[in-house]
């Protein structure tokens, strides 16, 4: 007779796939995803600095890569990831002071994070273009 | 041994003292917040500087990076960034990786961040403390080429040829 407690694979919490995505949960996971993406971007920051330190010959191909279409798309993505993580991070720091936990406030701050990230990303690229980038 | 049994094997004293994640976990949690607070002004300064330097060529960019304030802020940014980048992904790994690779992955992230931080700081210092390279763009291409062979050698050659010319003019040789 099989024991009822033996090895039948049970779903482990948090089985997120059964939940409908909400602003709160989407922003929560996006904060992690953008954080990991920015850590990867930090590798390229160091590559860029090391290339600059080695001289114009080494810097030129890096500059070319940044100016290429793939480079620009990656940089645009990194800019948006940066502002989303920055705004999301500030929202988390406010939460750490035990403020803003009412459902209404959480949705206001959540949409503010989305709006601010979009506006700041577009503003940064317009400013960069006006500087001759 | 599964975690459930290990839990039961703790003595009542151990449970009362409460040694566990609630102690050391707080330090890591605080470090993540402190580095986050430091990163707000530092990353905004960096983004603004990059935007301001958008159209700059290599020489202009290096002149900006060579100023002491830029170098200081850049190194502070790298320290805060890689501190934050070591702690953040570690939490992500600990939450989602439940195999033997978890430990290896956390160590790899930590060591990777240390290596990248060191490489970045050395690069900034090389740019800030180098004297010859900053003037390279103002000199003629021949001098620049020779400097890459050895900065001192070209100086010697130039001084020597000047002496020769002067000597010839004075009729010494």
Give B6 or B112, the one with higher predicted confidence. Answer: B112
Give the tens place of pLDDT for each residue, B17-29. Answer: 766 655 666 888 8
What is the pLDDT of chain B when averaged over all its residues? Answer: 78
Instruction: Please return the burial class of A92, using the count of CB atoms within 10 Å of its CB with bins 0-12, 13-18 and 19+.
Output: middle
Interface test with A, best of B58, B65, B137, B144 (most A CBs within 10 A): B58
Domain A22-130: give its CATH architecture. Answer: Up-down Bundle (1.20)
- The three-state (H, E, C) secondary structure of chain B, written as one string: CCHHHHHHCCCHHHHHHCCCHHHHHHHHHHHHHHHHHHHHHHHHHHHHHHHHCCCCCHHHHHHHHHCHHHHHHHHHHHHHHHHHHHHHHHHHHHHHCCCCHHHHHHHHHHHHHHHHHHHHHHHHHHHHHCCHHHHHCCCCHHHHHHHHHCHHHHHHHHHHHHHHHHHHHHCCC
- Would you call A42 and B62 a contact, using CB atoms and an 8 Å cutoff? no
User: What is the Cα–Cα distance from A44 to B116, expressed in whole angstroms?
Assistant: 10
pLDDT at A78 over 50: yes
- Domains in chain B (CATH in brackets) are 28-137 (1.20.1300.10), 139-173 (no CATH)
pLDDT at B163 over 70: no
In this prediction, residue A3 carries a pLDDT of 56
pTM of the model: 0.76
In this prediction, residue A19 carries a pLDDT of 81
- Would you call B120 and A133 a contact, using CB atoms and an 8 Å cutoff? no
pLDDT at B154 over 50: no
Report the alpha-carbon angle A101-B94-A7, nearest 5. Answer: 105
B143: left (phi over 0), alpha (psi -120 to 50) or beta: alpha
> What separation, in Å, do the N-terminal and C-terminal C-alpha atoms of chain A show?
74
In this prediction, residue B71 carries a pLDDT of 96
Interface test with B, best of A15, A40, A52, A61 (most B CBs within 10 A): A52
In this prediction, residue B65 carries a pLDDT of 92
CA nearest to B123, candidates A79, A68, A41, A59: A59
User: What is the Cα–Cα distance from B114 to B125, expressed in whole angstroms?
Assistant: 17
In this prediction, residue B11 carries a pLDDT of 75
User: What is the Cα–Cα distance from B152 to B146, expressed in whole angstroms?
Assistant: 9
- Would you call B53 and A63 a contact, using CB atoms and an 8 Å cutoff? no
The pLDDT > 70 percentage for chain A reads: 89
Mean pLDDT lowest among A13-17, A77-81, B67-71, B80-84: A13-17
Give the tens place of pLDDT for each residue, A110-127. Answer: 999 999 999 999 999 999
What is the pLDDT of chain A when averaged over all its residues? Answer: 91
Nearest CA-CA distance, residue B159 and chain A, Å? 26
- Would you call A43 and B126 a contact, using CB atoms and an 8 Å cutoff? no
- Would you call B43 and A86 a contact, using CB atoms and an 8 Å cutoff? yes
Give A109 or B24, the one with higher predicted confidence. Answer: A109
From residue A41, alpha-carbon distances to A10, B28, B82, B143 in Å are 38, 23, 11, 37
In this prediction, residue B12 carries a pLDDT of 78
In this prediction, residue B147 carries a pLDDT of 52
Report the alpha-carbon angle A50-A60-A81, nearest 5. Answer: 65
- Chain B residues in contact with A6 by the CB 8 A cut-off are none
Q: Is the dihedral of CA B121, B124, B126, B130 positive or negative?
A: negative
User: What is the Cα–Cα distance from B118 to B98, expressed in whole angstroms?
Assistant: 30
Give the tens place of pLDDT for each residue, B38-72. Answer: 999 999 999 999 999 988 889 999 999 999 999 99
């Amino acid at each position: 007779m099989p024991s009822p407690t033996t090895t039948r694979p049970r779903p482990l919490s948090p089985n997120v796939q059964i939940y409908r995505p909400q602003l709160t949960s989407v922003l929560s996971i996006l904060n992690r995803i953008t954080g990991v993406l920015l850590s990867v971007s930090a590798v390229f920051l160091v590559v860029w600095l090391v290339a600059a330190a080695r001289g114009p010959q080494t810097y030129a191909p890096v500059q070319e890569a940044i100016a290429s279409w793939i480079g620009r798309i990656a940089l645009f993505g990194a800019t948006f990831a940066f502002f989303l993580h920055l705004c999301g991070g500030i929202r988390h720091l406010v939460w750490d002071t035990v403020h803003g936990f009412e459902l209404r406030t959480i949705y206001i701050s959540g949409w503010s994070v989305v709006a601010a990230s979009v506006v700041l990303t577009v503003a940064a690229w317009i400013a960069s273009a006006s500087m001759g980038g | 041994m599964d975690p459930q049994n290990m839990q039961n094997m703790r003595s009542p004293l151990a449970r009362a003292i409460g040694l566990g994640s609630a102690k050391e976990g707080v330090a890591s949690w605080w470090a993540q917040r402190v580095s986050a607070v430091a990163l707000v002004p530092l990353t905004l300064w960096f983004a603004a500087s990059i935007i301001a330097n958008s159209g700059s060529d290599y020489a202009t960019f290096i002149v900006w990076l060579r100023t002491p304030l830029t170098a200081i802020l850049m190194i502070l940014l790298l320290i805060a960034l890689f501190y934050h980048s070591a702690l953040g992904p570690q939490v992500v790994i600990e939450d989602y990786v439940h195999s033997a690779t978890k430990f290896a992955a956390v160590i790899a992230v930590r060591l990777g961040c240390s290596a990248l931080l060191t490489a970045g700081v050395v690069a900034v210092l090389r740019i800030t403390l180098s004297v010859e390279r900053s003037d390279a763009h103002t000199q003629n291409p021949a001098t620049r080429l020779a400097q890459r062979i050895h900065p001192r050698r070209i100086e010697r050659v130039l001084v020597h040829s000047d002496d020769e010319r002067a000597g010839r003019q004075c009729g010494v040789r």
